[in-house]
A and B are shown apart, each in its own frame.
Chain A
Amino acid sequence: MNTHKKIKILLVDFALGELPPQTEDEVKKHLAECHQCSSELRQLEALLKCTENVRQLSADAQMQESAKEKIFATIDSRETKEPIHRQNISLEFRRTIMKNRIIKLAAAAVIIIAVIAAINQLVGSGTSAVYAAVVEQLHNARTMTYSIVTQTNIESMPTVRVDMAFKEPGYMRITTVDGYVTVIDWAQNKGISIWPPRKQFIDFEASNYQHDPAQDPFVVIEKLRALPSQADVVLGEKKIDGRLLQGFLVTEGRVVNTIWVDPDTRELARVEMEFPDAPGMSVIMTDFQFNVQLDDSLFSLTPPEDYTRLEVQADVSKVTEQDLIIYLQLWSTWTKDGAFPPTFNLVELPKVAMEMEKQGKFGEGETSAQQRRADAMQTYRGIMFVAQLPAESNWRYAGENVKYGDADTPIFWYRPKGSETYRVIYGDLSVKEVAADNLPR
């Protein structure tokens, strides 16, 4: 390496004053002769001078006081509920009588598709700052299995447990405790849901899905590999299920993750996720296993013999708010009392739907195969709209026990990208722009 190249590399350290005296003299000597390096140094020094100036800036006492007061006022007024000025926007919907068990089965199946996206969304954000040893473990993973338990503080919603399995290059298998299995081949955008009690299966294909490496819902392992190695807070040790684990707190968007690692084996043991927007709800991931042998047959898209097919083809190219509204309206037509879905926790929605069916909350009726397919598609698109909302949208669903037509009750709100205001959907499915300060509490 010639002198010029060598000195050029040293310029940053020279500007930062971190070179030993002898090397510093060498650099100075070269600078006296080299216009290019002198010029580069002047720019480096200008940048550093600028940062020194910035360092002198500080908030004045009035600003500090004002910021503090704002915080204290907010925590003191958490319970206050501000009135919302509402403006009804009429939307035309057809209320179709089309209720029978097969429809619900098809709808529940496509919900499963969206559940996968949701699960991934949770997983993706939930483990996004696991500490270094775990990150390395994830980095080397070719397969991964774990269990997810979803709990709410709502009595009518039982705890849901599903087992997950991933295998490169993009296979995913979800098994519920009831034996329902969904397999996705992400490379082909195809999947299958198998329903043993009815000996039925559903092929599904998400056509026109726009691949975005940062957003692809199924590439979990790849996402995990990109994790930074630093957690926000070290929580110390705690005994969980007989194991002494070390905890790390990571807040990502609107999800708060507590990651528990076995300090002896340095293995990921447990991930707990909480949602400030849904107090009492938690998702717990446990039983992590990496690089276990997973046979290809587990990810087969071929249905078992003697099973009958229900096909669903979903176009998720351009899901919009309107898809969500139609889905909400659709659900209200399925229920006897016209109520909206009790939850938008996509992990537990299929289970809730099954429970509702057991409890006779859905109406009865007949419909055509064509209508069933259209409804299933609409369900999928509506749910995908929510699944694809970024954390920054601060979306929230509050439609439990709200019936279609209730113009006074907000049931869903979110902030579109780039918007200062929120879109709030009411029980009559009208939509209004609402400032953040006027959102329902």
Chain B
Amino acid sequence: MALGLRGQIVQTEDFRILVNKYGAQVLNIAVRILGDAQKAQDVHQEVFLAIWQQWHKYNGQTNWDAYLYRVTIRKAIRLVKRLRNEQHLEQQWEYSFSRENPDEPLRISEMQQKLASCLARLPKRQADIFVLSRIEGLKAERIAQMLGCSESTVRVHLHRAVKKLTRQLSDYLPEKRR
């Protein structure tokens, strides 16, 4: 996946190629985690501007695919934490979940926000693996390569993440809401 972009003269053009090639991937990850177009664009902007500022440091060995997955997940979750600290999202979620009919299924966007908040509480490795596996649909083998760990480590972290998230979200999942 390496682009091999080091020529000084074509730096800007190379960077544009990178954005064109991976921009959608970064945006989609952010949309899926955050469930908010504007915030996803903020993360997209943050990810690529951080790369641009250090463009001279990257070389042909950079695995952009893996790097952008990791960085985007991290920045999106960091944004959730920041928003949560500012209580914006919590208030929004409180409102979202105060519904007249508790049997009405939650909309994706509502569940997404709650899920994001819970993801931000997970240990980083667990959150990364959960997003890569369940939200991005990547196989354990690829996640293991991406994170530099074994497949069994991926499975252990995924197992723990699923368990914790189910516990944290239990009030909003079907069985408890009946």
Contact = CB atoms under 8 A, between A and B. Distances in A.
A and B physically associate: yes
Interface of A: 12-13, 15-16, 18, 39-40, 42-44, 46-48, 50-55, 57-59, 63-64, 66-68, 70-72, 74-75, 132, 228-230, 232-236, 249, 251, 256, 258, 274, 276, 392, 417-418
Contact of B19 (A57, A59, A72): A72
Contacts of B93: none
A70 B57 contact: no
A228 B31 contact: no
A413 B170 CA distance: 44
Contact of B28 (A52, A59, A228): A59
The 7 closest A-B pairs by CB, nearest first: A51-B134, A59-B27, A43-B173, A46-B173, A276-B53, A236-B61, A67-B44
B170 A43 contact: yes
Given A55-B32, A71-B49, 6 more contacts: A43-B170, A54-B108, A54-B112, A58-B28, A63-B27, A234-B61
Contact of B162 (A48, A53, A233, A235): A48
A66 B41 contact: yes
Contacts of B162: 12, 15-16, 44, 47-48
Given A12-B163, A43-B173, A228-B125, A249 B57 contact: yes
Given A51-B115, A54-B115, A58-B28, A392 B82 contact: yes
Contacts of A234: 61-63
Nearest to B140: A18
B158 A232 contact: no
Contacts of B163: 12
Nearest to B116: A54
Nearest to A65: B23
A132 B148 CA distance: 10
Given A43-B173, A54-B108, A228-B124, A59 B159 contact: no
Contact of A18 (B48, B148, B155): B155
B3 interface: no
Contact of A68 (B23, B31, B40, B59): B23
B58 A256 contact: no
Interface in B3-40: 12, 15-16, 19-20, 23-24, 27-28, 31-32, 35, 37, 40
The dominant DSSP class at the A interface is helix
Contacts of A58: 24, 28, 31-32
Contact of A39 (B12, B19, B175): B175
Interface residues of B, number: 60
Contacts of A57: 28, 31-32, 35, 108
Interface string B137-178: 100000000011000000100110011011001100111100
Contacts of B12: 75
A67 B41 CA distance: 6
B70 interface: yes
Nearest to B16: A72
Contacts of A256: 53-54, 57
B27 A42 contact: no
A70 B166 contact: no
Nearest to A279: B53
B89 interface: no
Contacts of A59: 24, 27-28, 31, 37, 40
B101 interface: no
B44 A74 contact: no
A71 B62 CA distance: 21
Contacts of B136: 55
Nearest to A276: B53
Contact of B108 (A18, A50, A66): A50
A178 to B, nearest CB: 33
Given A13-B159, A54-B112, A236 B59 contact: yes
Given A63-B27, A67-B41, A72-B16, A55 B57 contact: no
A71 B27 CA distance: 12
B49 to A, nearest CB: 6
A230 B54 CA distance: 19
Nearest to A231: B148
B137 A55 contact: yes
A72 B62 CA distance: 21
Contacts of B91: none
Nearest to A258: B57
B67 interface: yes
Given A54-B108, A59-B27, A75-B12, A12 B44 contact: no
B37 A68 contact: no
21 contacts: A12-B159, A12-B162, A16-B159, A42-B174, A42-B175, A44-B162, A46-B173, A48-B162, A55-B135, A57-B28, A70-B41, A70-B44, A71-B44, A71-B45, A71-B49, A74-B49, A234-B61, A234-B62, A235-B62, A274-B54, A418-B85
A232 B57 CA distance: 12
B86 interface: yes
Nearest to A274: B54
B123 to A, nearest CB: 9
B11 to A, nearest CB: 10
Contacts of A251: 50, 54, 71
B47 to A, nearest CB: 9
Contacts of A64: 23-24, 27
A256 B57 CA distance: 10
A357 to B, nearest CB: 36
B120 interface: no
A229 B124 CA distance: 11
Contacts of B111: 50, 53-54
Given A39-B175, A71-B19, A51 B40 contact: no
